Chain A
Amino acid sequence: MEDSLTITRPVTRRSFFKLMGSGLAVIVSAKDVFSSSFISDATLAEDSIAAWIHVDEAGLIQVYTGKVEVGQNIRTSLTQIVAEELRVSMDAIRITMGDTQLTPYDRGTFGSLTTPNMSPILRKAAASLREMLIEMAADSWKTNVTSLTAKEGKVSHPNGTTITYRELTKGKKILKAVNQNVTLTPPEQWKVAGQSLPKVNGRDFVTGKHQYASDLQLPGMLVGKILRAPAYGATLTSVDTSKAKSMAGVTVVEDQNFVGVVGPDTQAVETALWEIKAQWKMKPQPSRATIFNFFREQAQTPRSEANVGNVDSVFQSATHVLSQTFQLDYIAHVPLEPRAAVAQWTGNNLTVWTGTQRPFGVQEELSELFKLPKEQIRVVMPDTGSGYGGKHSGDAALEAARLAKSTGKPVKVMWTREEEFKWAYFRPAGVIDVKSAVSEAGLLTAWEFHNYNSGPAGLRTPYEVPNQKIEFHPVDSPLRQGSYRALAATANVFARESQINDHAHMLKQDAVAFRMQNLKDPRLKNVLSATAEKFGWNKSAADSGQGIACAYEKGGYIGTAVEVRVVNGVAVIQRIVAAFECGKIINPRHLKSQISGSLVQGLGGALFESIDFTEGKIINASLANYRVPRFKDVPEIEIVLLDRPDINSTGAGEAPLVALAPAIRQALYQATGNRQNQLPMLPNG
Chain B
Amino acid sequence: MQLRVNNQDYEIDVNGNTPLLNTLREHLKLTGSKYGCGEGVCGACTVLINGVPVRSCITPVGSTQNKEITTIEGLEQEGKLHSVQAAFLETDPFQCAYCASGMILSTVALLKRNPTPSRQEIVEAMQGNICRCGTYPALLEAIQVAVKK
Tell which of A202, A623, A631 touches B92, judged by Cβ atoms closer than 8 Å. A202
Interchain Cβ contacts under 8 Å between A and B, 26 examples: A71-B95, A71-B97, A73-B95, A199-B94, A208-B32, A208-B71, A214-B34, A215-B25, A215-B31, A265-B27, A267-B18, A335-B98, A336-B34, A336-B99, A337-B35, A337-B36, A385-B98, A386-B95, A386-B98, A417-B37, A418-B38, A589-B92, A593-B93, A597-B135, A601-B134, A632-B127
Per the 8 Å Cβ criterion, residues 7-27 of B in contact with A are: 14-15, 17-19, 22, 25-27
Asked if A630 contacts B26 (CB within 8 A), the reply is no
Asked if B31 contacts A336 (CB within 8 A), the reply is no
A residues with CB within 8 A of B: 70-73, 198-199, 202-203, 205-212, 214-215, 217, 223, 265-267, 334-338, 383-386, 388, 414, 416-418, 589, 593-594, 596-601, 603, 622-624, 628-632, 634, 637
Complex A-B, nearest 10 residue pairs according to Cβ-Cβ distance, in ascending order:
A208-B32, A600-B134, A71-B96, A385-B98, A208-B72, A71-B95, A215-B31, A386-B96, A205-B97, A597-B134
Given known pairs A211-B31, A265-B27, the reply for A336 and B92 (CB within 8 Å) is no
Per the 8 Å Cβ criterion, residues 21-72 of B in contact with A are: 22, 25-27, 29-39, 41-42, 44, 71-72
A282 to chain B, nearest CB (A): 26
A152 to chain B, nearest CB (A): 25
Given known pairs A601-B132, A628-B132, the reply for A206 and B104 (CB within 8 Å) is yes
CA distance A505 to B131 in the complex (A): 37
Asked if B95 contacts A593 (CB within 8 A), the reply is yes
CA distance A464 to B85 in the complex (A): 52
Asked if B31 contacts A70 (CB within 8 A), the reply is no
Which of chain A's residues has its CB closest to B27's CB? A265
* Interface magnitude class on chain B: 35 or more
Asked if A624 contacts B18 (CB within 8 A), the reply is no
B41 to chain A, nearest CB (A): 5
A641 to chain B, nearest CB (A): 15
> Is B123 an interface residue when CB atoms closer than 8 A count as contact?
yes
Asked if A203 contacts B89 (CB within 8 A), the reply is yes
Asked if A596 contacts B14 (CB within 8 A), the reply is no
| B137: chain A residues within 8 A (beta carbon) | 596, 634, 637
Inter-chain pairs besides A207-B72, A265-B26, 20 sampled, C-beta below 8 Å = A71-B133, A73-B95, A207-B32, A208-B30, A208-B32, A265-B27, A267-B18, A335-B98, A335-B132, A336-B96, A596-B134, A597-B95, A598-B134, A623-B36, A623-B130, A624-B39, A630-B127, A631-B122, A631-B139, A637-B137
A97 to chain B, nearest CB (A): 14
> Is B81 an interface residue when CB atoms closer than 8 A count as contact?
yes
> Is B129 an interface residue when CB atoms closer than 8 A count as contact?
yes
Asked if A414 contacts B41 (CB within 8 A), the reply is no
Tell which of B17, B19, B136 touches A600, judged by Cβ atoms closer than 8 Å. B136
CA distance A637 to B98 in the complex (A): 23
Which of chain A's residues has its CB closest to B123's CB? A631
Tell which of B29, B30, B34, B95 touches A337, judged by Cβ atoms closer than 8 Å. B34
Which of chain B's residues has its CB closest to A210's CB? B97
Asked if B37 contacts A386 (CB within 8 A), the reply is no
Which of chain A's residues has its CB closest to B99's CB? A336
CA distance A38 to B122 in the complex (A): 61
Asked if B95 contacts A417 (CB within 8 A), the reply is no
